[in-house]
């Protein structure tokens, strides 16, 4: 995918803590992604992966710790501005069903990037073209496959020219035959130099695309390293057990 990723930034999550009442969901998470790097986050259900992503783009404020883009803390920044810099794609695509594909993409461009209608449409069409969906611009989401809908959601996020992209189990809701196309778009984006954090159960993707694989368990990153190290030479017994269940 050719995309303007010259503005991608490094991401540092430092000692992030977060509790929901008595439930200490994040207990000191550290994660570093260099500019243009891709980190895949793996781990059991309930270990805090989604919550971690939500603290990075400030859908939730951490109780303690810091999140830095290019070495600068973003916790004091305006959350709307930050959400333009940090794009997020969810398991459920969250497209507006009553709007065309094109309008799903132009809406945020007009609201957040304050583009006029013509310019927003041009940007949206170009971005849809990059995910292979130029021909679907006038369709409603329900007329698209799940994989196509997820690619629209990715185009919508990329149209805002984010500096970091977060993916939360972006392929988990898809029929198996549709997974590959979406992972392909994500792999292209990684290769194009986007800084990414990808929560995934797709171990093949993590192995091939990640620079770093981080294993989350009970609210901490228990082990992290290059894919070969994590998959072939896992140190922690809990990681070894997890891998034996998913591989
Ligand atoms: P994962 O994505 O690894 O499956 P989550 O981050 O979704 O884990 O959840 C971690 C823990 O936080 C779970 O125990 C979950 O019930 C709890 N949790 C997540 N979101 C909320 C919330 N908004 N309010 C209360 N508890 C939450
Ligand atoms: Mg989750």
Kindly list the protein residues that place their beta carbon closer than 5 angstroms to ligand 2, a single-atom ion: 49-50
In a domain, 135, yes or no: no
Model-level ipTM above the cut of 0.85:
yes
Residue 81 has what pLDDT? 87
How far apart are alpha carbons 39 and 169 in whole angstroms? Answer: 13
How far apart are alpha carbons 10 and 164 in whole angstroms? Answer: 8
In a domain, 150, yes or no: no
Q: Which atom of ligand 1 is nearest to the CA of 43?
A: 3
Mutation to probe ligand 1, out of 20, 63, 170, 201 (largest number of atoms < 8 A from CB): 20
Residue 67 has what pLDDT? 97
For residue 47 and ligand 1, the question of a CB distance below 6 A is answered with yes
Residues 6+ apart with CB under 8 A from 167: 88, 89, 186, 196, 197, 198, 199, 200
Helix, strand and coil percent figures for the chain, each rounded to 5: 40, 25, 35
Task: Look at residue 101 and give its three-state secondary structure.
Answer: helix
In a domain, 226, yes or no: yes
In a domain, 207, yes or no: yes
How far apart are alpha carbons 93 and 141 in whole angstroms? Answer: 10
Check which CATH number belongs to the domain holding 42 and give it.
3.40.50.300
In a domain, 148, yes or no: no
In a domain, 145, yes or no: no
Residue 2 has what pLDDT? 47
| Torsion angle in degrees (nearest 10) through CA of 173, 40, 130, 174 | -10
Q: Give the pair of three-digit tokens for residue 156.
A: 């919508």
219 Rama class: left (phi>0) / alpha (psi -120 to 50) / beta = left
Where the chain has pLDDT below 50, the residues are 2, 5
Q: Please return the burial class of 243, using the count of CB atoms within 10 Å of its CB with bins 0-12, 13-18 and 19+.
A: middle
Residue 4 has what pLDDT? 52
Residue 1 has what pLDDT? 55
Total tally of structural domains belonging to the chain: 1
**Ligand number nearest to the C-alpha of 54:** 1
Q: Which domain holds residue 169?
A: 11-96+164-244
In a domain, 199, yes or no: yes
In a domain, 40, yes or no: yes
For residue 55 and ligand 1, the question of a CB distance below 6 A is answered with no
């Amino acid at each position: 995918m050719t995309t303007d990723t010259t503005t991608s930034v490094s991401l540092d999550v430092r000692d992030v803590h977060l509790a929901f009442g008595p439930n200490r969901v994040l207990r000191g998470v550290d994660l570093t992604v260099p500019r243009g790097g891709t980190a895949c986050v793996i781990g059991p259900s309930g270990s805090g992966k989604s919550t971690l992503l939500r603290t990075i783009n400030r859908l939730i404020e951490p109780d303690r710790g810091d999140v830095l883009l290019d070495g600068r803390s973003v916790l004091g920044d305006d959350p709307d501005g930050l959400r333009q810099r940090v794009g997020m794609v969810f398991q459920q695509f969250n497209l507006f069903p009553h709007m065309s594909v094109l309008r799903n993409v132009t809406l945020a461009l007009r609201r957040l990037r304050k583009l006029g209608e013509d310019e927003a449409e041009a940007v949206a069409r170009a971005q849809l073209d990059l995910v292979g969906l130029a021909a679907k611009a006038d369709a409603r989401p329900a007329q698209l496959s799940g994989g196509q809908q997820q690619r629209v959601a990715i185009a919508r996020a990329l149209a805002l020219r984010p500096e970091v992209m977060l993916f939360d189990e972006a392929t988990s809701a898809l029929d198996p035959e549709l997974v590959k196309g979406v992972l392909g778009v994500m792999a292209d984006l990684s290769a194009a130099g986007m800084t990414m954090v990808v929560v995934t159960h797709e171990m093949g993707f993590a192995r091939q695309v990640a620079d770093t694989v981080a294993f989350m368990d009970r609210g901490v990153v228990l082990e992290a390293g290059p894919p070969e190290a994590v998959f072939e030479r896992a140190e922690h017994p809990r990681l070894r057990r997890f891998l034996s269940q998913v591989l």
